[in-house]
Amino acid sequence: MKNPQTILIADDDANICELVRLYLEKEGFETVICFNGEKAMELFRGGNIDLAILDIMMPKMDGVSVCREIRKESKMPIIMLTAKGETFDKVLCLELGADDYVVKPFEGKELAARVKAVLRRTAPPEKEQEEEKIVSYDDITVNLTNYELILCGKSLDIPPKELELLYYLASHPNRVFTREQLLEDVWGFDYYGDSRTVDVHVKRIREKIEGINDKWQLKTVWSVGYKFEVK
């Protein structure tokens, strides 16, 4: 029998922490709670945390700083909580490497569903089922097995979600995907129509790969979505 996964809940609102704890423990998770960013980092570095839920606005060290520091050391899944609901907050969270975000006020069931979706998406494959996920074209190799982007023979740093999106598009050359399809297939959860998430990630990918080779490009199909066009 597998041991239950442990979720770190970091929010300075004790009521929110208790609400999240109740829903997650009902789903079979174990939880640890803290009320500031410094304690969140201490618990993270103590090990045995499978996913962190971080409020953006916390004393001593805000959630954005905690997310940034965790990403320097680990690919552990992170879900951000924001009370503002502004595009800036969402974009910032995703660019820092968060795997998902939830806007307050939220339903406990929704957050629990997102936790399970993120854990499924980021779980390492079973050894016997593991297969290399690599797609290559002239001057570009997208290696999802090792989470590596190689341009003109040189490895380039790229956030995990950008790499996953690029791999998905490059694995289906010349096929057009709507933003909604990409949200569902790459992010693995319904983002309630927030297509801005896809647009931001495509913009960031283009900044890295545009102009490398004229035989392929990440192309916008107006009023529809995006495709990885191979000539």
The pTM of the full predicted model, rounded to 2 decimals, is 0.59
Share of the chain above pLDDT 90, in %: 38
Give the pair of three-digit tokens for residue 10: 């970091």
Q: Where are the domains of the chain?
A: 6-122, 129-230
Q: How many residues does the chain have?
A: 231
Q: What homologous superfamily does CATH list for 6-122?
A: Response regulator (3.40.50.2300)
Q: Does the fold of domain 129-230 match that of domain 6-122?
A: no
Secondary structure tally for the chain: helices H, strands E: 8, 12
Assigned CATH topology for domain 129-230: Arc Repressor Mutant, subunit A (1.10.10)
Place of tokens 């640890």: 32
Q: How far is CA 220 from CA 62, 92, 138, 203, in A?
A: 36, 23, 20, 10
Quickly state the pLDDT bin for 228 (edges 50, 70, 90): very high
**Dihedral angle over CA of 62, 199, 112, 116, nearest 10:** -110
